[in-house]
Structure 1
């Protein structure tokens, strides 16, 4: 019995090699790697990292405390909300990558923070199931956009020799934000209650916008 599957010739995968010969090259100039200390002292890298850390902080809170915040909600609703956030984030991260490739200096990082903060605000003021899912969708969407926009803006500020340092600084902001969110929220919520602690989280996220870069082009490596 024949199937509809057809296989490409063994050499088809190598066809792209010939096309690569026509791609423009880059001058083989030695580049000095950007050290971690220099990266942490560079506002072009630390500003977007701080802004993204504010969103990562909220992510640590949502993942750690969501079941405690919604004690009266069924487990299926909490699982649905986490699924909504988990599915939305990579989709908007992909979309943000395509968009910034065509619009290099679009203010996506700030927009991502606002969308994510609006999602957390909904979680703070209402426990309605539909509103909860909408809040998680908004948070996931803003989180995905902020992930891509922050890393992209940082990569544009260095030469390829500095990509490793950018990755380290960005991941430091990511992990520090998640950790501080999980620990700090618990301490704050113990004295204020969960709704007030979520409201404070929104304020922290929006306050991080003060670190947004003032200009789209911060150094000669910006492309």
Structure 2
């Protein structure tokens, strides 16, 4: 999961960023000013924006409202010490999807992030994708090679689709695990390696052909 954290308190910001990386394996960009948060959000792709309400250079509600007005469709979680009903209404009306009052436990923040990413904020993607000599059909979750249909399990299809969507990018095992199984699933990271092995076999591919590449100690990436 890729997260933008906008928090001007240096101690709290460092703690949250550290825990998101260490405990959940997320990729985190941390900024301390509102305008900086806007620039990062507008110029990159994040799964969730975590916006502090009170920041120099533009408060979280202003930044959220501005992004929504410009068509930003990603998930937004507001952090604030403001806890009245009217404050919550104001934050949600500004375009936030969820609201977490300080102080909070990191486990609750992680649970809220998982809940947000289970929703689909992304635009509908093209149904059929051609890559090498494969056709991936998202609507019916099938993969064809020429006239032959490749029988993939739902997990294998989701994993292949995730690699296709992020072609050329290295996906860590933690990110893959979070996106396909969920961090609270009762399986371990070795499941990813086993699923990759099965996926390669069904695709008629191998590690040597450079299609689905292993990045030692990190994860996997797909090359066209």
Q: Whose helix proportion is higher, 1 or 2?
A: 1
Q: Which has the larger radius of gyration?
A: 1
TM-score, normalized by the shorter chain, greater than 0.5: no
**Structure-2-length-normalised TM-score:** 0.22
Q: Whose strand proportion is higher, 1 or 2?
A: 2
The higher relative CO (CA closer than 8 Å, separation ≥ 6) is in 1
**Structure-1-length-normalised TM-score:** 0.22
